[in-house]
Structure 1
Amino acid sequence: MAMFFFHLTEGDEVIPDTEGLDRADLAAVEKEAVAGASALVAEAVQNGETDYWGRLDVENVSGERLLSLTFACSIHIDNVRAQPGCTESPRAHRQADRLC
């Protein structure tokens, strides 16, 4: 096992990881970074953010950057309402790119 540090950048803010995590190898580090980024994006969406991005930079104990993972989530919501008599759902409208 080796110690890895997952430093987070959100916008202009850098949040250093001062504790680190023990992981077996770079594959485990990559899996951890993807899971962390996924959780951050999910939390941002749940909090109503519609344009969120960040980066995780993973370093070893020597400060050597081993991995950089950039993530982003952009959400655009169209209020599509079915017209009277239309049997298709709003989702079907968007998928077909048409209205009833």
Structure 2
Amino acid sequence: MPIYYFHVVGQGSRIEDLEGTDCADLSAAKEEAVACARELMAHAIRQGRDISSRSIEVRNARGGVVLTLPFRQAISEAE
């Protein structure tokens, strides 16, 4: 199963995913990115912060960017 890394990127900051997550394919990785973005936004909202301008950069095992998911897109993304 391929491994994907989910880095959170926003306004001059970057939080690296050093462990990665096994996903069956890119579609599954996108679902994981949507879930992650929603969870991070929900946590931020509970603290009174707006992080909706951030995005998740999904990279494959070779380090190539395979998807960039803006947090705002995760709000309306179908499950």
Calculate the TM-score normalised by the size of structure 2: 0.83
Q: For residue 36 of structure 1, what is the aligned residue in structure 2?
A: 36
How far apart, in 1, do the equivalents of 2:71 and 2:17 lie? 18
User: Helix, strand or coil for the counterpart of 1:5?
Assistant: strand
How far apart, in 1, do the equivalents of 2:55 and 2:71 lie? 6
> Structure 1 stretches of 5 or more lacking a match?
73-100
The structure where strand makes up a greater share of residues is: 1
1:1-100 equivalences in 2 (<5 Å): 1-49=1-49, 51-52=50-51, 53-72=53-72
How far apart, in 2, do the equivalents of 1:10 and 1:65 lie? 16
Offset from partner CA, 1:53-81 (integer Å, 9 cap, x none) = 21100010111111000114xxxxxxxxx
> Structure 2 stretches of 5 or more lacking a match?
73-79
* Runs of 4+ that moved beyond 4 A: none
Q: Which has the larger radius of gyration?
A: 1
Q: RMSD value over aligned CA atoms?
A: 1.1
How far apart, in 2, do the equivalents of 1:11 and 1:42 lie? 19
% identical aligned pairs: 39
